[in-house]
Amino acid sequence: MPVLSRRGRLAIAAVVDIAIHGREAPVAAKALAQRHALPPRHLEPLLQNLVRAGILRGMRGPRGGYDIARDGRKISCGEIVRAVTTVSEDDAEEATVLMTSVVEPAIAEAERRFFAELDRVAVADLCAAALDPARGMPSLAPA
- The pLDDT of residue 88 is 58
| Buried/exposed 104-129: b ≥16 CB within 10 Å, e otherwise | eeeeeeeeeeebeebeeebbbebbee
What is the share, in percent, of the chain residues with pLDDT greater than 70? 90
CA angle 19, 20, 23 (to 5 degrees): 75
Distance (Å) of CA 69 to CA 40, 43, 56, 63, 99: 21, 18, 5, 17, 40
Where is pLDDT greater, at 90 or 5? 5
Q: What is the mean pLDDT of the chain?
A: 88
Read off the pLDDT of residues 44-72 as tens digits, 9 standing for 90 and up. Answer: 999 999 999 999 999 998 889 999 999 99
Q: What is the DSSP string of 65-95?
A: EEEESS-GGG-BHHHHHHHHPPPPPPPSSPP
Read off the pLDDT of residues 79-114 as tens digits, 9 standing for 90 and up. Answer: 999 999 876 545 445 778 999 899 999 999 999 999
